[in-house]
Amino acid sequence: MSFCVSKQAPELVAPRVPTPSGRLPLSSMDRTAVVRILVDLVLVFKHGLEPAKTIKEALSRALVPYYPVAGRIVEASPGEPEVSCTGDGVWFVEASADCSLEGVNNLERPLELRKEELLPFAPLQVNVEDLIFMMQVTTFSCGGFAVGIRFSHTVFDGLGAAQFLKAVAEIARGHARLVVEPVWCREVIPSPPTVSRGHPPSLAAFRFETAVFDVSLDHINAVKNQFSRERGHKCSTFDVVTAMVWQCRTRGIGLEPHVEVHLGFAANTRHLLRQLLPQEGFYGNCVYPMGVKARSGTVAGASLVEVMQLIREAKERMSAKFLAWMMGESGEDPYKVPLEYGTVVVSDWSRVGFAEVDYGWGEPIHVAPLNDDTNFIASCIYLQPSKPKQGLRLMTRCVQPAHLPAFRQEMIKFVQK
């Protein structure tokens, strides 16, 4: 059975009252090439009362303290983006689906609605690269609704985007004041001499398949206990799951043992910039890319605890590497990762705050990224599983079709232990 989503024409939601104009600088982290993208995601809610009307009104109010979000990205010179505080507003789409959430499996994978039906799109004449934020609210026949988001990674990192979404939700719930006041202050972040500028590479060399795995909390805790027994100290959920993904993928793709494989992940650096940034409220990019490399045979043949140790050692080096990079002393560009099949990048969305957004009718039952057309680098995103499950949900796009059966078999060995 096919279902239909009816969209109203996109409209601009401007700040409720006049806001400051002028241009604001972006930080060196904002200006890196790898973040010149729109991030697409959907939040699914069980029920709501006129959610589109409530959220649109709250969005207009939130754009007063978050007035840069209502502006546009401009480039004074190539590769040097800034935010022009025009007050134009953000594109908002109201939509309705002729089915219940249950009828489309709560928008779990595989999607039974096309992602284009859930996401907002600006009019054709609008340059999407200039936009900072877009939102669509789709109501379902059961009374549930989905909020489709597109945000510019140039202006927000994951924590920052979640902070803005939670601000809109607080206003929708009737808060007179925001719990966290937004802070811009991008100019206080130093600009290292080696920063990738410009646009991301438009390389589509691979055809990655999407696969979803749930890892139970019991299994994660069992591996943590094993690590503690063998190494004498604690490890994190991130260590467990990242080692599992890296090893399973390495085994699944079957590269020659001598070939190097690369693991990349983003580390939050807010705590390292404590002297420069306020304690809370900053919503710009504040992540530093970390990498681990080893021979394929080493990763495939090691114990899981040994692979976890490689990851932990990389994390322990992060502070020194980040500060050296900030001071211009590292001599390398950490944002340049090998765009090869042997590289996989993992992102932890489970704790950034998307699952805590509450417009007045409860937190989302499901949060999922919708960037399924990215084929230049293998990826895995960690999410909270649908309630009431505990543990982690892994959304992977990291192997080509020929390697999916072997990768799935490796993952199931761990997931079902």
Global pTM reads 0.92
Q: What is the DSSP letter of 183?
A: B
Average pLDDT over residues 254-266: 95
Residue 42 phi, psi dihedral angles, 5° rounding: -135, 140
The answer on pLDDT for 32 being more than 90 is: no
The answer on pLDDT for 219 being more than 80 is: yes
Instruction: Report the distance separating Cα 302 and Cα 293, nearest Å.
Output: 14
Q: What is the DSSP letter of 123?
A: -
Q: Is 218 a catalytic residue?
A: no
How confident is the model at residue 1, as a pLDDT?
A: 65
Average pLDDT over residues 204-229: 90
How confident is the model at residue 202, as a pLDDT?
A: 47
Do the domains 5-188 and 209-350+365-415 sit in the same CATH topology, yes or no?
Answer: yes
How confident is the model at residue 198, as a pLDDT?
A: 44
pLDDT band of 203, cuts 50, 70, 90: low
CATH of domain 209-350+365-415: 3.30.559.10
Pick the CATH number of 5-188 from 3.40.50.12500, 3.30.1490.20, 3.30.559.10, 3.40.50.2020: 3.30.559.10
Instruction: Report the distance separating Cα 133 and Cα 149, nearest Å.
Output: 7
Within 198-342, strands assigned E span 209-216, 260-268, 287-295
Q: Is 262 a catalytic residue?
A: no
What percent of the chain shows pLDDT beyond 90?
73
Q: Considering only residues 195 and 308, tell me which one the structure prediction assigns the higher pLDDT.
A: 308
How confident is the model at residue 199, as a pLDDT?
A: 45
Instruction: Report the distance separating Cα 102 and Cα 144, nearest Å.
Output: 10
Residue 392 phi, psi dihedral angles, 5° rounding: -135, 145
Catalytic residue among 40, 153, 348, 403: 153
| Total Cβ atoms within 10 A of residue 390 | 12
Average pLDDT over residues 345-367: 94
Say which residue the tokens 């939040």 belong to: 43
Q: What confidence tens digit (pLDDT) does each residue in 67-114 have?
A: 999 999 999 888 789 999 999 999 999 999 999 999 999 999 888 999
Every domain of the chain and the residues it spans? 5-188, 209-350+365-415
Instruction: Report the distance separating Cα 218 and Cα 207, nearest Å.
Output: 33
The answer on pLDDT for 36 being more than 90 is: no
Say which residue the tokens 């063998």 belong to: 230
Chain centroid to CA 284: how far? 13
Catalytic residue among 88, 214, 333, 358: 358
| Total Cβ atoms within 10 A of residue 64 | 15
